[in-house]
């Protein structure tokens, strides 16, 4: 499946800028070496799907508004989003505006046992982990008494 994402993106104009040497990837089992691709566009399967594999598709944008549109419009998944910025105001605006369950800014490590984990859209609902995760296992009951 990973190879199909790479093949589709390549046919549609994306370029592989890094691929692990095939000799370094184990040949037994189900292994796929890490790949970084640029020139990824909205019409590519790599853009439209959650890739649970070592493929990084880089999407170019010109403005903050375009970035938010790229993340939010026409895509049905929203587990996590990652971006780099040194501008605190931009970090806050974009983090608030993008429709994903988790955001990584200047880092690829966004989850831990004390952080809520979960996505939005077709990436799921609710959270697990942290104090917020317990809510998935509770039933809330309202009781109204006139005594």
Structure confidence at residue 130 as a pLDDT band (50, 70, 90): confident
Whole-prediction pTM:
0.75
For residue 142, pLDDT beyond 80: no
Q: Is 83 helix (H, G, I), strand (E, B) or coil?
A: strand
What is the pLDDT at residue 99?
93
pLDDT tens sequence across 29-75: 888 899 999 999 999 999 999 889 999 999 989 999 999 999 999 78
For residue 140, pLDDT beyond 80: no
Of 118, 43, 25, which Cα lies nearest the Cα of 80? 118
Report the alpha-carbon distance of residue 81 to residue 94 in Å, rounded: 10
List 56's β-bridge partners, or say none: 36
Region 98-103: what's the mean pLDDT? 93
Question: DSSP string covering 122-136, please?
Answer: TT-SS-BSHHHHGGG
Q: For residue 67, with 0-12 CB atoms within 10 Å meaning exposed, 13-18 middle and 19 or more buried, which class applies?
A: buried
């Amino acid at each position: 499946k990973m190879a199909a994402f790479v093949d589709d993106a390549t046919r549609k104009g994306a370029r592989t800028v890094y691929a692990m040497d095939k000799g370094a990837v184990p040949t037994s089992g189900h292994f796929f070496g890490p790949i970084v691709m640029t020139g990824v566009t909205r019409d590519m399967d790599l853009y439209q799907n959650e890739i649970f594999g070592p493929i990084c598709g880089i999407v170019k944008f010109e403005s903050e508004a375009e970035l938010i549109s790229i993340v939010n419009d026409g895509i049905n998944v929203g587990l996590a989003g990652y971006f780099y910025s040194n501008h605190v105001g931009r970090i806050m605006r974009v983090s608030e505006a993008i429709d994903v369950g988790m955001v990584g800014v200047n880092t690829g490590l966004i989850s831990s046992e004390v952080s809520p984990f979960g996505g939005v859209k077709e990436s799921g609902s609710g959270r697990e982990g942290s104090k917020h995760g317990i809510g998935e296992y509770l039933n809330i009951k309202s009781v109204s008494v006139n005594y």
